[in-house]
Amino acid sequence: MKTIDIESHFTDLDRYILENNVEYERYFKFVTHILDAFTTTFAPKEGVQEHEVTIVRDLSARFLLTLRALGLKYLFEETDRMRIDLTASGFPNHLELRKMAADLGRLKEGGLNLVNQETLKRQLLDKLIDGDSEPTSILQKLAISQYFSTIEQGGLFGEFVPGNLRELKVFDATKHKKRFLCSWASFDTVTNRPYVYLMVFDNDPDPRGPRTERVDFDPLFVDVIKKCTHNTAPLKVIASDIDEAYAWVHPKVLKRIDVGPILGEYDQTEDERAKEIGKHIPSGHFVMHVTTEIVFSVGQEKKSTGLLSKTELREVFHVDETNKDCMERMVSEVQNYLFTTHTVMQYLSDNQKGMLKELSAPPFICTPVA
């Protein structure tokens, strides 16, 4: 994982610009193919909450839709090129999602004068009938119109994407003591990769306290989660921050899924093993890493919140000190997955046996990009 270092982060490779529209079309076809494979095939292990598969796939589908929207925006663009991160990412630079949010704001304010899509389609047909085989200006307007129509419909991925709050268990209905599953996602400004979060927590409000101590009636709950989400921070820190933010919220399990990086023709990472593997990945083939981290509570301890304040319960989160990776990440468990093609898998089986042994499950075999 990249660290927050200004000199190494803001480089030309973090914000790489492809040569022309043909290259961008190839790039979008490449990255959406991989994300589609992930969205449709990845599923957590047996034994986890039954909602998890749906949550992961729904949030991943939002990111896939966002990539396709960006493809429309830049399909015929000649001056403003999209930035791609070629360093341990393979995805668009986070600034592209910020620009998309700004585009939506302009659309809502009525600051855009878009031509009706049906009008553009008729103009395009007229041009083709007249023998114009490359009506680029009309195609560009049509793509932009479709882009704005897509972002107006919503359901896209942003720097923070609130998910759902699901009630899992009722401990005491009269006191509103319940267990919930909360989900959210984010696109990181340092790694330029999407992250998906799932948290199981107990809500133990004061029966005499305000109604907002019940998280399903707290309008600020999502804002607190957003504030505590720092994708490059250790997962234990995020769980502890959420625990500290509320006396009546007790995180029991927090899981983070890091999607990427993608190794292939859109990667120029400095990692030596990744560079060696990259030499043996044919055009249209790829390797995508997916890492899940889990931190869970093993109990509670009493903690004073100040000299005159009352004592409150805080969760004690387990870090597996017998595992070096867990120690470095400050988590209870780390699981590593791989998505690749059969051709690349043959090379990995012959030359990267050590890397394959690090995986938590056999690699997901996908078709190459045609």
Q: What is the pLDDT of residues 223-252, one digit of tens each?
A: 999 999 999 999 999 999 999 999 999 999
pTM for this predicted structure: 0.90
34: DSSP letter: H
Which sign, positive or negative, has the C-alpha torsion 321, 325, 329, 335? negative
Q: pLDDT at residue 348 above 60?
A: yes
Output 125 or 369, whichever has higher pLDDT: 369
pLDDT digits (tens, 9 = 90+) for 255-293: 999 999 999 999 988 889 999 999 999 999 999 999 999
Q: What is the pLDDT of residue 43?
A: 66
Q: What is the pLDDT of residue 135?
A: 72
Q: What is the pLDDT of residue 347?
A: 96
Is the peptide bond preceding residue 368 cis, with omega within 30 degrees of 0?
no
Cα distance between residue 268 and residue 284, in whole Å: 16
Parse the chain into domains and list their residue ranges.
6-153, 160-366
Angle at 302 between CA 308 and CA 329, to 5 degrees: 120
10 Å Cβ neighbour count for 126?
Answer: 12
Say how far residue 95 (Cα) sits from the centre of its chain: 15
Q: pLDDT at residue 344 above 80?
A: yes
Instruction: Indicate the average pLDDT of the chain.
Output: 89
Average pLDDT of span 147-172: 93
Q: What is the pLDDT of residue 145?
A: 87
Output 75 or 190, whichever has higher pLDDT: 190
Q: What is the pLDDT of residue 187?
A: 96
* Tally of residues, the chain: 370
The lowest-confidence range among 23-32, 195-204, 308-317, 344-353 is 308-317
Q: pLDDT at residue 119 above 90?
A: no
Average pLDDT of span 91-120: 86
Q: What is the pLDDT of residue 2?
A: 42
Q: pLDDT at residue 193 above 90?
A: yes
Output 271 or 116, whichever has higher pLDDT: 271
pLDDT digits (tens, 9 = 90+) for 138-151: 888 888 889 999 99
Cα distance between residue 110 and residue 55, in whole Å: 34
Q: What is the pLDDT of residue 4?
A: 41
Say if CB 23 and CB 359 are below 8 A apart. no
Backbone angles phi, psi at 124, to 5 degrees: -65, -45
What SS3 string covers 236-303? Answer: HHHHHHHHHHCCCEEEEEEEEEEEEEEECCCCCCCCHHHHHHHCCCCCCCCEEEEEEEEEEEEEEEEE
What percent of the chain is modeled with pLDDT above 90? 69
